[in-house]
Amino acid sequence: MGTSRNVERRTILKAAGATAATLGLAATTACGGDGSTSSDGTVTIRYAWWGAEDRAQRINKTIALFEKKYPKIKVKTDFQPYVDFWKKFNTQASGGNPPDVFQNAIGFLRKYDAKNVLLDLSEQVKAGNLSMDGFRAGLEKFGEIDGKLLGVPVGSNSMALVIDKHVYTRAGVKPEQGWTWDDFDAAMKKIRDKTGRAGDSGMYGVMYLYDLYLRQNGKAFFTEEGLGFTEADLTDWWTKAKKGIQEGVFADAKKVAQVKPKSAVSAELAASEFTWDNFTVRYTSEGKSEYGLAPIPTTDGKKTGQYLGSLMLSGSKRTQHPKEVAQFIDFMVHDPEVAKIMGYDRGVPATQAQYDAFKPTDEVNKAIAAYEESLVKAGVLQPITPHPNGADICESAFLRIAEELALGTRSVADAVKQFFTESKTALVV
């Protein structure tokens, strides 16, 4: 796996919604389509995704397998970097010409469903063209919104704490399942005092981590209608963030910004940071140390609030070939040979058949698989928090405003007020 893709993967968490948030999408209707059928009955469907060149090479190999199995279905492909993908998709959808099938993410399901863009795949399941059996850890429910199947998972990931093993060892810190936030705070100070390095890169701009913290405390970042927490809640969270930077247990935000796109951990500014488990490969590729995955801290020593997230495949409501789209998705999520080609490029394979088909040989991917297995074994996984229409805009605002707070250009009170102001606008139905 190349560095370019792994850098891009990290930016997905931080950039989600950054550009799409500013783009208006005109409503489309379920008519017409952009696929084609030749005189001999051969159907052509368009498939689009975001990613780098190495992902494209892998996907093209899987498409060759699909076309061999389904010689009457041809697949025309298109891929872009993450932000460019959503720019182009928005333009296509606004013009009534989105790709027949495309890569998608949870933050965009309600957004594009509200714009009448997404195909409800449940009818294709009933018709036998798409199977939702054999998914791991409840992932078959991941793309269900309001009784509609709007996306099918291709892989899974979960939030984790990526650590520099050598620094943690020198500090005598050994995180274990069930450690608390108090334990985490003590560990950050111990790392600072014994190694001279900040314990963490600064975690308070990561919306998905804050969601886990809220879930541990009986709340959530989102409800189906909007935000699931108060200004007082966020004030507490961001007050701790500012204090952590001032005390040196979190990395200097200005230095973190200077080393981007390199991570603060691999740049040796911090000993750890919270991110998605399948991003781990990038640290090994750009850093000099040995990196590992540690559990999410808890409030009560038990509940982490975690779930398995996933990239998905969705269909266009305008497609003229819903059957072929469903057959394509079915092949991509179930065929064992696809897993052998894709590996963990889009996360740990979502179906058991593909999970069993690909056994990583490198230590980093072995650790990712072991981490997700440990979550299942520990019984901490729960259903994902619903994401309302406008969630992508909220995520973008959360990241940007938290960074301004970290850099000292906003006070906590001002940052909280600004976030809620922008979110109320974004989440108006």
Per-residue pLDDT at 152 exceeds 80? yes
Split at pLDDT 50, 70, 90, the class of 151 is: very high
pLDDT in tens, 363-385: 888 999 999 999 989 999 998 88
Q: Is the pLDDT of residue 22 over 80?
A: no
Query: How high is the pLDDT of residue 220?
Result: 96
- Of residues 323 and 83, more confidence is placed in 323
State how far the Cα of 42 lies from the Cα of 73, in Å rounded to an integer. Answer: 6
Nearest 5 degrees, angle CA 8-CA 407-CA 235? 100
Q: Which of 117, 173, 102, 85 is nearest to 329 (CA)?
A: 102
Query: What is the average per-residue pLDDT within 317-341?
Result: 97
Q: For residue 153, what are the β-bridge partners?
A: 312
Q: With bands split at pLDDT 50, 70 and 90, how would you rate the model's confidence at 35?
A: low
3-154+318-358 CATH choice from 3.40.190.10, 3.40.50.150, 3.40.50.2300, 3.30.420.140: 3.40.190.10
User: pLDDT (tens digit, 9 = 90+) per residue, 178-189?
Assistant: 999 999 999 999
- Give the start-to-end residue ranges of the domains of the chain: 3-154+318-358, 159-306+386-426
Pairing of strands 101-104, 152-153: unpaired
Question: Which pLDDT score, from 0 to 100, does residue 203 have?
Answer: 86
Mind listing the pLDDT tens digit for each residue in 301-314? 999 999 988 899 99
Same CATH topology for 3-154+318-358 and 159-306+386-426?
yes
Q: What's the average model confidence in pLDDT over 137-156?
A: 93
Mind listing the pLDDT tens digit for each residue in 205-260? 999 999 999 999 999 999 988 999 999 999 999 999 999 999 999 999 999 999 98
| DSSP-assigned letters across all residues of 388-421 | -TTHHHHHHHHHHHHHHHHTTSS-HHHHHHHHHH
Angle at alpha carbon of residue 293, lines to 13 and 178, rounded to 5°:
105
Q: How confident is the model at residue 29 (pLDDT cuts 50, 70, 90)?
A: very low
Q: What is the mean pLDDT of residues 157-178?
A: 96
- Residue 383 has a pLDDT of 87
Question: What's the confidence (pLDDT) of residue 17?
Answer: 37
Structure tokens at 249: 């247990």
Q: State the DSSP H helix or E strand holding residue 47, giving kind and residue range, or none if neither.
A: strand 43-50
Q: What pLDDT shows up at residue 260?
A: 87
The pTM for the full model equals 0.81
pLDDT digits (tens, 9 = 90+) for 338-364: 999 999 888 899 999 999 999 999 888
Confidence of residue 147 (pLDDT cuts 50, 70, 90): very high
Tell me what pLDDT residue 224 has: 81
- Whether residue 30 is predicted with pLDDT greater than 50 in this model: the reply is no
What are the respective helix, strand and coil percentages of the chain, to the nearest 5? 45, 15, 35
- What is the band of 23 on the pLDDT scale with cuts at 50, 70, 90? very low
Q: What is the pLDDT of residue 290?
A: 93
Q: What would the pLDDT profile of 261-298 be if each residue is shown by its tens digit? A: 889 999 999 999 999 998 887 888 889 999 999 999 99
What pLDDT is attached to residue 266?
Answer: 94
Cα radius of gyration rounded to whole Å, the chain:
21
* CA torsion, ordered 314, 319, 320, 323, to nearest 10 deg: 10
Compute the distance between CA of residue 76 and CA of residue 66 in angstroms, rounded to an integer. Answer: 12
**Please, which pLDDT band fits residue 429 given cuts at 50, 70 and 90?**
low
Question: Which CATH architecture fits 159-306+386-426?
Answer: 3-Layer(aba) Sandwich (3.40)
Query: Per residue in 78-134, pLDDT tens?
Result: 999 888 999 999 999 999 999 999 999 988 999 899 999 999 999 999 999 999 999
Q: Coil, strand, or helix at residue 198?
A: strand
The predicted structure's pLDDT at residue 261: 84
